[in-house]
Chain A
Amino acid sequence: DTGVSQDPRHKITKRGQNVTFRCDPISEHNRLYWYRQTLGQGPEFLTYFQNEAQLEKSRLLSDRFSAERPKGSFSTLEIQRTEQGDSAMYLCASSPDSLAGGRAQYFGPGTRLLVL
């Protein structure tokens, strides 16, 4: 049973560049979530998918951010025209549809973004 994987683990970019992160959820999980975590804070919700449908987006997700999950499997999160304020850890999580386990979310190792 493989867990959630994320790629890359670290990304350094210059302000104004575009970056894309990938998340591969646990294979039998239909739900996929993206969170952002800044230093000293808990994760903050960005968006989530049920299969390929993006069902909810946070106000944190500005129009420079876009997420996709085209075939209901892996997901990508793209940030266009990066700003220094985008520097953070981007976490992906997945959960099953069943409520039996409270739809507990299982997290990947995260992608740490640094915008110079």
Chain B
Amino acid sequence: AQSVTQLGSHVSVSEGALVLLRCNYSSSVPPYLFWYVQYPNQGLQLLLKYTSAATLVKGINGFEAEFKKSETSFHLTKPSAHMSDAAEYFCAVRSNSGNTPLVFGKGTRLSVIA
């Protein structure tokens, strides 16, 4: 069984500051890992994915995440926050067979202060 823990339900950063959103996973099999972003009253947009290739994954809008097996982590980062980054961010895991549904964390709301 897989599970995801996102540390911090709300993160607030200043515009231009580093964004760090934390995700730890639990999986009995090698995982695939994903980050999604959700703007108010919209669906989820795929930011990036880890599928057992490179451990450092680059996504859209300047985001990247690093898969660390020893720490069972997949934290999301962005060097410089922009006002438009304010949204809800979800980390998700599934088994690498791809036959299981996505299991999501509870989400982290990112606020960006001018």
Contacts and interface: CB of A to CB of B under 8 A. Distances in A.
Interface of A: 4, 6, 33, 35, 40-45, 48, 56, 58, 91, 93, 99-110, 112
Contacts of A93: 44
Contacts, number: 65
A60 to B, nearest CB: 11
Given A91-B43, A107-B36, A107-B44, A43 B49 contact: no
Interface stretch (B12-20, B62-70, B71-79, B104-112): B104-112
B104 A44 contact: yes
A42 B32 contact: no
Given A41-B106, A105-B46, 16 more contacts: A35-B102, A40-B107, A42-B90, A42-B107, A44-B104, A48-B101, A58-B101, A91-B44, A100-B51, A101-B49, A101-B51, A102-B50, A103-B32, A109-B42, A110-B42, A110-B43
Contact of B32 (A45, A58, A102): A102
Contacts of A104: 34, 46, 49
User: Number of contact residues on B: which range applies?
Assistant: 20 to 34
A41 B38 CA distance: 12
A56 B43 contact: no
Interface of B: 4, 9, 32, 34, 36, 41-46, 49-51, 90, 92, 94, 96, 98, 101-107
Contacts of B36: 107
B107 A105 contact: no
B7 to A, nearest CB: 14
Contact of A107 (B4, B45, B49): B45
